[in-house]
Chain A
Amino acid sequence: MLRTMLRLTLLLFLTLVGGTSAADEMPILIRSLPGYSLDQANTALINAITNHNYTFVRQQAADARLVPQTLEGRKVRIIYFCNFAKMERALNIDVRAAQILPCRFTLVEAENGSVSLIAINPAWVSEGLNNPLLHPDCLELKRDYLAIMDEVSL
């Protein structure tokens, strides 16, 4: 059974690899959050993450632990989150999936006070990894990201 699965998988890979040389995905997913302060967006984002069956892990400034805490930047906030079952599955398929782990959103406040929600598109990273076994999981992760972003922005 193991051999058969391997053969089928390799066949699938060799079939697909010829047609996956160019990236179709955009690198960055972004939503503007009109009417939100950074703190409001932060709260709404963590709620949405939880609503979509992910666990909030931590948040930090972009320069956390690089400068004294009182001098940390206040305009950029990084939010890490995770679904442990999905993480295990992805790492079992390809350890390079660690390049998109843990899941992350970044909230950025512009000079005019407007707030944006930004993420690296996991499906874009996956295209670079070029592993057809991993890609469906990354597409699903992208859908989850977009659903979370939509919940916050709509």
Chain B
Amino acid sequence: MNRAIKVTITAAIKVAGSLLCLLALSLGSVQAAPLIASKKTDPRAAFDDLAGAAANHGYTIVKLQPVDSALTKRGFDNPHVRLFFIGKAEAVREAEEKAPLLMQMLPLRIVMILRKDEVALMSDDFEYWRQFFSDTWSRPLLSQWEADMRAILADYAGNGSPSK
């Protein structure tokens, strides 16, 4: 395929995807949305702030997955995305004992989205999980993790609460 056409189609898909994403959120469907916190900073400072915020709430960064460099070094577009996984031993033990299927959510994922002079952090969608894992054991765990994540993202943003 002609490269110019490929670039145009890729750009169109990107723009349309972003619009659909916004529309999906704004239409208020039954599905919830992930927690998001954003601030003007650079990636290195954002990492430090995230590590600090996680530690303040008893979590440790267990893995950084640099999706951006993993893709660019293989010749793909830069998605300007990095993944962080955070955890704490008590959360793992609790999930193992009370709701083993929720182990699939651990360690908790944070998506870092790099935009010019701004760095946004996005969580998984806990409310969506609660809709399907609504038993006595799962629900409180999911709520606890969501509260922890909300606090970490608020700490990162340095203000009240992350947007939703």
Contacts and interface: CB of A to CB of B under 8 A. Distances in A.
A128 B125 contact: yes
Nearest to B62: A65
A147 interface: no
B122 A62 contact: no
A47 interface: no
Interface string A52-76: 0000000010111111000001001
A4 B73 CA distance: 33
A92 B13 contact: yes
Contact of B104 (A20, A63, A92, A120): A120
Contacts of B34: 96, 99
Given A87-B71, A95-B79, A133 B13 contact: yes
A79 interface: no
Interface string B106-150: 110101010000000010110011011100000000000000000
B77 A130 contact: no
B59 to A, nearest CB: 9
Contacts of B20: 9-10, 13, 94, 131-133
B13 A98 contact: no
Given A17-B24, A99-B109, A76 B62 contact: no
B60 A66 contact: yes
A1 B12 contact: yes
Contacts of A154: none
Q: Helix, strand, loop or mixed for chain A's interface? A: mixed
B64 to A, nearest CB: 11
Interface in A90-118: 91-96, 98-99, 101-102, 104, 106, 108, 118
A67 B91 CA distance: 12
B88 A28 contact: no
Contacts of B16: 5-6, 9-10, 133
A78 B30 CA distance: 31
B8 A118 contact: no
Contacts of B92: 62-63, 66, 73
14 contacts: A23-B132, A27-B132, A84-B76, A91-B79, A92-B13, A92-B14, A94-B17, A95-B113, A96-B21, A98-B67, A127-B31, A129-B24, A131-B17, A131-B21
Given A62-B92, A88-B79, 12 more contacts: A5-B12, A9-B16, A9-B19, A63-B87, A66-B87, A95-B113, A102-B65, A102-B67, A129-B21, A132-B20, A133-B20, A134-B17
Interface of A: 1-2, 5-6, 9-10, 13, 17, 20-23, 27-28, 60, 62-67, 73, 76, 82, 84-85, 87-88, 91-96, 98-99, 101-102, 104, 106, 108, 118-120, 124-125, 127-134
Which A-B residue pairs are the 6 nearest by beta carbons?
A: A91-B79, A93-B17, A128-B128, A98-B111, A9-B16, A130-B24
